[in-house]
Amino acid sequence: MKPSSPLLILLFTLLLPLYSATVAVTPAIAQQVAVVDTAIEQQLDQLLRADLSNDQRRQAFHTIANDMAESAPIATRVRVLAYLAMEYAYIEQFDEAYRRLAEVRQLAEQYGTIDSLTEVRATYIEIKLAEGKFTEALSLVGETELGLAQTQSPRIRYYSHTLIASVYSNRNQLEKALSHLVSASEAIMETNDSRTTIRRLHVMLQIAQIQSQLHNNEAALARVNEVLELAASAGLTDMFYHDAMLQKALIETNAGDYEQALRTYSALKASLTEQTTTNSHWYLSTVLNNMGDLDIRTGRYDEGREVLAEARELALANGDDDSVKLTEFNIAFIDVHQGLHQQGLEQMSALVEHFQQRWPETDFEQLLGEYAEALGIAGDYQRQAQVLLQQRDIRDRLFDRELQRNLTELQTVYDSKDKEQQIKLLQQQNSLKEQLLTNEEQRQTILTLLIALSVFAVIIVFFLYRAARRANRQLKHANAKLADQSLRDPLTGLLNRRALQQQLAKPRSSGSGCDAMILLDVDQFKRINDHHGHQAGDQVLVELAKRLRKVSRDRDQIIRWGGEEFLIYVVNTSNEALPNLVERVLFEIGRTPIALADSELQVTATAGFISFPFANPDSQPIGWEETLQLADMALYAGKVHGRNQGWGIMRLNVPFSQARQRLETDLPGAIDDHLVDVVTVMGPQLS
């Protein structure tokens, strides 16, 4: 189990240097912008460069704020107090951070320039990022961008553009992120002081992160290596080495180069062991856990056990109970891999119960996946099926939450853009009113000019009307395109779960015949991602989508149900023809290997299938959700009995209300007791 998400690690490592990289402008620039207190600004720069703990840094900012006279320039006062608010965010006292920043905003609005207001707005974004509220951070971007157009200070423009780039990068809007990093680089060029190189290196690390998100690992590694070389030549190795090396190892892991990633982690570990910095314990704990995870991936269980034991001792020394238990879980996973099944499973089971009460469901769902894998290694298929069902329930809940969050984010983006458009329209209206007022003052003296201006105004209104109609047409087209995209999976182009839910929620006509559902799950898909990389996993899903289209009819619906699952909704078929169709699907998937960049990969799938509406002896209708749940149970039965096969529930021999509990908890037993008739279809024989 990984200690944390690579994206979250990169976000932390990029935000902290960004905070310390904000700098004062040179004297030549200061003459063009708001007046600052040079002595206090230099004191802030030295404080940001110092290696201090959070408590020491916060106390130092308190001292500067208390000693600062009320007559100090407003730009300097805003900077000091905004930094102090940010310090409370770094120790997760967010209420205090927002309270202090609200006071700074009031000060900037009352006495400050647009530069001070932009700095306050950017600080709000940084606190939202530190709090993990990325959608709320996105909602603040529009207002900050408007102020940036008039901001003079290169320091504030650099600070704001890099933060906005982090927001867009997190939202995977990489083109916008790169655009703001270009603007940040332009602001850097306006400075020429001891911190110019620091700002440049920070932007380079952000660009490397975006290149990694684009799966351009080669370019990302080249950029990180360039950062390491430039930092060494500028004497900034102590400031950037750990961040750059950690990002380098994560990129190598994403590229599937596990051996090189281990070497990078080893070098980083040696450096952390030699140095004693404020964040060295956090870095070292992250490095050791990631090294242990790589050892498990590559089958080096003894090496993994050794490095995880070291990580456990470090976590104990720092009082990090969750990290202690996480390393114990990974060590127990190694026990299972090495044949100590009972010992390892007992330890993993206890830790699963512990983390279930403490972890968010997104992280706990991944933990269940590794626990289920361990049960499969030990041959405990019944418990494995139970854990997989629990994981499936969590995944379904997360899907609903993700859908709701995506809709909320879309609405947030729309509201932000709408607000921006209203501001622009108000500016245009004010400009037009001023022009009309001037015309009114001249009407008494130049009547002819008044007529000409009136005609000109009519022309303007006409073109505004045409522009409004054109904008409405574009908006309707965009809404239609967005509606279609909301029903499509962006990777495979197949319909998504929402599309099927909308169709099946509609009443079926009495003469619509018999349909069927075939639920498919790609076998060992996690192993494909682990051994070949997520890019190869995406390639497999795209190829399987093509094969499913090939074997299905035009009127049938093919849905990417979630992750590595597909659903074929077959229209107007018969119960007798359904097994033959499933057999063709399994053979189409598994008969021909999938060509990857440097190898071929044999892929199979397991299916659960059922007719719809499903026959019920008491003639009571069974809804599509319950029908699909029966197909899901049949699929898991196929998984437990060896994969690469299909299990179909053909008919119920007793009313569904009597058999429901047995079907949900013990499908094989229900089959043995003849409560239900099941047919099994085998996939292609593999060499």
Among residues 143, 177, 211, which one ends one of the domains? 177
Q: Give the domain CATH number at 59.
A: 1.25.40.10
Residue 433 lies in a domain: yes
Residues 150 and 95 grouped into a single domain: yes
Maximum average pLDDT range among 168-172, 306-310, 505-509, 520-524: 520-524
Q: Residues 538, 518: contact at Cβ < 8 Å?
A: no
CA distance 68 to 360: 43
Q: Which of 57-66, 74-83, 248-257, 362-371 has the lowest mean pLDDT?
A: 362-371
Q: What are the residues facing 562 on neighbouring strands?
A: 565
Residues 126 and 50 grouped into a single domain: yes
Burial class of residue 212 in the structure, from the number of CB atoms within 10 Å of its CB (0-12 exposed, 13-18 middle, 19+ buried): buried
444 Cβ neighbours under 8 A, 6+ residues apart:
none
CA distance 160 to 156: 6
Residues 131 and 41 grouped into a single domain: yes
Residues 439 and 506 grouped into a single domain: no
Q: Residue 568: helix, strand or coil by DSSP? A: strand
- Tell me how crowded residue 438 is: count the other CB atoms within 10 A of its CB: 10
Is the pLDDT at 606 greater than 90, yes or no?
yes
Among residues 462, 485, 508, which one ends one of the domains? 485
pLDDT at 407: 42
- What average pLDDT does range 296-324 have in this prediction? 86
Residue 60 lies in a domain: yes
- Looking from the CA of 474 toward its CB, the CA atoms found within 13 Å total 6
Residues 637 and 549 grouped into a single domain: yes
Q: Which of 30-34, 194-198, 668-672, 680-684 has the lowest mean pLDDT?
A: 30-34
pLDDT digits (tens, 9 = 90+) for 440-488: 777 777 777 778 777 877 788 777 878 777 777 777 776 666 655 677 8
pLDDT digits (tens, 9 = 90+) for 47-85: 877 777 778 888 988 898 888 888 889 889 999 999 998
Please state, for a pLDDT cut of 90, what percent of the chain lies above it: 23
Residues 516 and 475 grouped into a single domain: no
Instruction: Tell me if the pTM is above 0.75.
Output: no
Instruction: Quote the longest CA-to-CA distance of the chain.
Output: 103
CA distance 274 to 258: 24
pLDDT at 28: 33
Number of domains the chain contains: 3
Residues 526 and 596 grouped into a single domain: yes
Please state, for a pLDDT cut of 70, what percent of the chain lies above it: 85
Residues 519 and 650 grouped into a single domain: yes
- What average pLDDT does range 29-43 have in this prediction? 68
Is the pLDDT at 657 greater than 80, yes or no?
no
Among residues 177, 210, 229, which one ends one of the domains? 177
Instruction: Give Cα separations from 265 to 202, 272, 360, 406, 566 (angstroms).
Output: 21, 10, 28, 35, 38
Residue 188 lies in a domain: no
pLDDT at 512: 56
Maximum average pLDDT range among 62-71, 270-279, 619-628: 62-71
Residues 578 and 455 grouped into a single domain: no
CA distance 327 to 209: 27
Residues 580 and 463 grouped into a single domain: no
- What average pLDDT does range 111-115 have in this prediction? 85
Q: Which residue has the tokens 């997104």?
A: 362
Is the pLDDT at 405 greater than 60, yes or no?
no
Residues 503 and 640 grouped into a single domain: yes
Residues 651 and 544 grouped into a single domain: yes
pLDDT digits (tens, 9 = 90+) for 140-182: 998 898 889 899 999 999 999 999 999 998 877 888 888 898 8
Residue 469 lies in a domain: yes
Is the pLDDT at 25 greater than 50, yes or no?
no
Q: Residue 29 — pLDDT band, cuts 50, 70, 90?
A: very low
For 193-234, give the DSSP string.
STTHHHHHHHHHHHHHHHHHHTT-HHHHHHHHHHHHHHHHHT
Domain containing residue 36: 24-177
Q: Residue 432 — pLDDT band, cuts 50, 70, 90?
A: low
Is the pLDDT at 262 greater than 80, yes or no?
yes
